[in-house]
Structure 1
């Protein structure tokens, strides 16, 4: 049986993407029998990843549970299905697992056909897109972690302070419209009027500096030195490396003339041998 924690993660995921399931009709398990579909490259996209055995079961049971429990929340419905999955015997799970295996095999065939029809430039573009998506996911996870640890918010600029103060009264019914209106209002302000918001922004920098110092000290106490900024240490390391590089250059320059001078002296000090030419 699938671990309960894994099923809980799947339940949360399915609850967030509830639209993928159809609640119109009851889907029977027979519809998940392995059917080989010919892959068409005209769609322009890769084949979709197949569902696991558990997700196939969820997709089948969702309309049934919804009909039986019309008043409970979507998350509770998925949790209920997860509990049912735990109680199934291996024989009950077998049809879903066999359908999942067949779908994975078809997915490999379709993916190979898709990759074979790509040009090198397209393959490179897809690889770059995957790299960017992976980096974006890492950045999102990092941001969530820092937010959960209470990292102070960055200081606001003078325009940010002005925008927060006048956003509600700004013209426009949409966000882009309000932003455009606020930007035009900001440009029309005099230097003395902008100075008020500039000072507030400077005060916010002081706030950020103090809060970051306290937060980094707390992170150090928790053993999370990896989250602490090390600008000074990086500068010292860079200065040290630069100093070492200069020292090596000086040593090389000092050694090079000595070798040349010694060679010249040796050549001049050696007596010339008489030529052995015949008279």
Structure 2
């Protein structure tokens, strides 16, 4: 890919798609969607990277799973995977070798495709792509954590007084949601304290109920060996870690040598009232 084309692949397509008046020269003769994978037909800004190939064990399980499922119609997915895993362990090294060879060939093909995929990015674009991947990974971890807590029966945190007010006002309403929220904010500010107290007292009751349910749930999690899910949990400090010895650097050795010379010079000076002279060691 030429340097000029590499520098402006994404920029050219953006400007071309938005019909911007700025131009970087002649428009590419081949459509960018065909010549580069920088943009794909999706809502994402970045293209989909090549799919990482499966290892030898996963390839065997995917191939064997239909047969195991037909032989065990009443078994669930986890049980079928366990059966496939036991069958894999029973295979000899010679029987496993074809799957290992296929996995190695797919891995080499994946490396080549990934290098081609990476070459379509500039340094700045690659940094943005890595940041977006880290963000999606954090979002996926948070979603899995929420799903896990929901399955474990964690009590749902109640809304406060303003939330109850908004819920009551929005029931059965339709129209511009943003404008309604803006209007309700002003209504809540101008609402008399006696009216606000009705929602606040209801929110306080829900909060007290929530705290009681949370205490019972946290005790249950501790009994089940999941103390990390409890509020204010701090992991125990490990005291068996050995302190690593400090490495002696060149600066440390030079400082020690200078200190030694200074000590010798001070020892060589005569003290008041003494006739003896210090000797060099």
Give the structure with the higher percent helix: 1
Q: Relative contact order (alpha carbons < 8 A, sep ≥ 6): 1 or 2 greater? A: 1
Instruction: Using structure 2 for the length normalisation, give the TM-score.
Output: 0.47
Instruction: Using structure 1 for the length normalisation, give the TM-score.
Output: 0.47
